């Protein structure tokens, strides 16, 4: 580690360029580029210091603290000695000059390398579109809750929805938690910030009679078997698109949900489905589901013969005619078209999953079984989603029990 003491002033040469500082032990070259007054007048300018202390282990940048404005050489030497001791003892935090924007962009490099692509893209969108423009110029070490709170209020004022704000806040909080772990900040300024209340959207679920009309209409479409299986299993869109024949056992009358297809813009990628304790999620199949799959398998073989060598052996259950895997967005478009054509109540493809859950609840299937079948992380998720249906089923059970007592 080395340190330098120097004098400098604000004077400029005939070209308007500022003179270089004059080191305490100046070489001939240094004197040639210094202000002439610094050479002739010991009181001209002020004293300063510079310290070179290696590389900051947090930022990877060189440690080069410096300061000017000291009235005497002795004052600069004393300040330099204190700074040298601070750097040598590992107490110097040069990264305190890093802005929130610079940190977030460097944090995104680690996110890109460690997180799923879908998560990484969502984080980057929040960082580049919202967080850097809104908070980027603030020094990371000086970021406070009041500034984050104002940022949240500005998002509300700009018309951002509560759910979107929660997601942007979650990205910021995750980044600041990482900064706290690295000792870049003393605390996470995003914590304890008041967020707008998210109003849960009411789930729209078709009546069984409406579902029958839909299945009759969609049966006319090439992918009718996909929608038949969806209503009877409640798989997520990505799961049913990613389903492989190797994960379907028609004799055992079950399938295993192992992977899903995620569509990111124009790209489609396969990701593993997270399960508790690494257990496979086994979904039992009823007669109609088995029949639909067998009929579809026969149709797929016809397509294979039709396309010949050009047929793509993707291994997926549901595919385009040439055997290539389906794009999830295509499935949603087919669904929307069929619903509109049949003039049925407008719902999303995902609501077929809710339909399946409602049918299970109405049939009196235990909540724990429903939760596992749908692949919910906890039974609490199931209760939060379908609590209102459970209350209806509970009332029906009470009425049924009362009716039995009256009959007896």
Which string of b and e fits 38-51 if b means at least 16 CB within 10 Å?
beeeeebbbbbbbb
Domain presence at residue 193: no
Q: What is the SS3 assignment for 161? A: coil
In tens digits, the chain (408 residues) has pLDDT values of 344 899 988 888 888 888 999 998 888 998 999 999 999 998 898 999 988 877 765 556 677 788 888 889 999 999 888 888 877 776 666 556 788 998 999 899 888 888 877 788 899 999 999 999 999 999 898 899 999 999 999 999 888 889 999 999 999 999 999 999 887 888 999 999 999 998 877 788 999 999 999 999 999 999 999 999 999 999 999 999 999 999 999 999 999 999 999 887 778 888 888 665 456 899 999 999 999 999 999 999 999 999 999 999 999 999 999 999 999 999 999 999 999 999 999 999 999 999 999 999 988 899 899 999 999 888 888 888 887 777 665 666 556 555 656 665
Based on the fold, state whether residues 113 and 68 are members of the same structural domain.
Answer: no
The pLDDT score that the predictor gives to residue 243 is 97
Based on the fold, state whether residues 134 and 256 are members of the same structural domain.
Answer: no
Angle formed by the axes of helices 328-341 and 208-218, nearest 10°: 110
The pLDDT score that the predictor gives to residue 383 is 85
Residue at which a domain ends, from 40, 66, 88: 88
φ, ψ at 46 (rounded to 5°): -135, 170
Based on the fold, state whether residues 312 and 237 are members of the same structural domain.
Answer: yes
The pLDDT score that the predictor gives to residue 87 is 78
d(CA 246, CA 397): 40
Based on the fold, state whether residues 108 and 141 are members of the same structural domain.
Answer: yes
Based on the fold, state whether residues 309 and 225 are members of the same structural domain.
Answer: yes
Based on the fold, state whether residues 78 and 126 are members of the same structural domain.
Answer: no
The pLDDT score that the predictor gives to residue 267 is 82
Based on the fold, state whether residues 263 and 234 are members of the same structural domain.
Answer: yes
Domain presence at residue 257: yes
CB atoms inside a 10 Å sphere around CB 397: 11
The pLDDT score that the predictor gives to residue 271 is 86
Based on the fold, state whether residues 74 and 113 are members of the same structural domain.
Answer: no
The pLDDT score that the predictor gives to residue 58 is 54
d(CA 65, CA 92): 9
- Residue whose token pair is 């007896």: 408
**Cα 379–chain centre separation:** 24
Domain presence at residue 336: yes
Which string of b and e fits 265-281 if b means at least 16 CB within 10 Å?
eeebeeeebeeeeeeeb
The pLDDT score that the predictor gives to residue 65 is 80
Q: What is the SS3 assignment for 65? A: coil
Domain presence at residue 45: yes
Based on the fold, state whether residues 301 and 228 are members of the same structural domain.
Answer: yes
Residue at which a domain ends, from 139, 166, 181: 181
Based on the fold, state whether residues 218 and 318 are members of the same structural domain.
Answer: yes
How many domains does the chain fold into?
Answer: 3
Q: What is the domain range of residue 31?
A: 2-88
**Cα 315–chain centre separation:** 29
Domain presence at residue 260: yes
- 135 half-sphere exposure, CB direction, 13 A CA radius: 33
Domain presence at residue 251: yes
Sheet holding 46-52: strands in order across?
22-23, 2-8, 46-52, 66-70
Domain presence at residue 111: yes
What CATH number is associated with residue 128? 1.10.150.130
Based on the fold, state whether residues 327 and 251 are members of the same structural domain.
Answer: yes
Contact 5, 80 (CB under 8 A): yes
Q: What is the SS3 assignment for 55? A: strand
Q: Which two tokens stand for residue 372?
A: 């596992």
Q: Closest by alpha carbon to 105, among 123, 90, 118, 81? A: 123
What CATH number is associated with residue 277? 1.10.443.10
Helix count and strand count (H, E) for the chain: 16, 9
Based on the fold, state whether residues 140 and 40 are members of the same structural domain.
Answer: no
Q: Compute the Cα dihedral for 334, 339, 340, 342 and give only its sign.
A: positive
First to last CA, the chain: 95
d(CA 161, CA 86): 47
CA distances from 53 to 57, 75, 86, 132 (A): 11, 20, 10, 30
Domain presence at residue 104: yes
Residue at which a domain ends, from 88, 121, 137: 88
């Amino acid at each position: 580690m080395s340190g330098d003491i120097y004098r400098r002033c604000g004077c400029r040469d005939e070209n308007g360029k500022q003179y270089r500082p004059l080191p305490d032990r100046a070489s001939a070259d240094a004197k040639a580029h210094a202000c002439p007054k610094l050479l002739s007048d010991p009181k001209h300018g002020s004293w300063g210091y510079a310290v070179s202390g290696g590389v900051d282990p947090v930022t990877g940048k060189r440690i080069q603290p410096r300061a000017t404005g000291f009235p005497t050489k002795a004052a600069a030497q004393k300040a330099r000695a204190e700074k040298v001791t601070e750097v040598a003892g590992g107490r110097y935090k040069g990264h305190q000059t890093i802005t929130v924007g610079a940190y977030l962009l460097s944090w995104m490099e680690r996110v890109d390398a460690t997180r799923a692509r879908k998560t990484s893209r969502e984080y980057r969108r929040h960082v580049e579109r919202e967080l850097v423009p809104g908070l980027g110029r603030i020094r990371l070490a000086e970021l406070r809750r009041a500034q984050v709170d104002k940022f949240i209020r500005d998002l509300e004022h700009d018309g951002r929805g509560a759910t979107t704000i929660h997601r942007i806040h979650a990205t910021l909080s995750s980044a600041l938690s990482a900064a706290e772990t690295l000792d870049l900040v003393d605390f996470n300024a995003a914590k304890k910030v008041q967020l707008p209340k998210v109003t849960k959207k009411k789930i729209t679920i078709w009546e069984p009679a409406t579902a029958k009309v839909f299945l009759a209409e969609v049966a006319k479409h090439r992918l009718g078997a996909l929608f038949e299986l969806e209503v009877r299993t409640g798989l997520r869109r990505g799961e049913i698109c990613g389903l492989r024949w190797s994960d379907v056992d028609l004799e055992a009358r079950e399938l295993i949900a192992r992977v899903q297809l995620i569509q990111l813009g124009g790209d489609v990628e396969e990701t593993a489905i997270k399960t508790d304790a690494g257990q496979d999620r086994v979904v039992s199949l009823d007669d109609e589901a088995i029949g639909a799959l067998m009929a579809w398998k026969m149709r797929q073989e016809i397509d294979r013969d039709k396309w010949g060598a050009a047929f793509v052996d993707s291994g997926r259950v549901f595919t385009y005619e040439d055997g290539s895997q389906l794009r999830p967005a295509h499935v949603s478009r087919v669904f929307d078209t069929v619903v509109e054509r049949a003039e049925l109540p407008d719902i999303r493809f995902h609501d077929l999953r809710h339909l399946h859950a409602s049918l299970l609840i109405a049939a009196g299937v235990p909540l724990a079984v429903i939760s596992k079948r749908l692949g919910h992380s906890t039974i609490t998720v199931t209760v939060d989603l379908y609590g209102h249906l459970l209350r209806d089923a509970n009332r029906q059970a009470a009425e049924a029990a009362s009716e039995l007592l009256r009959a007896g």
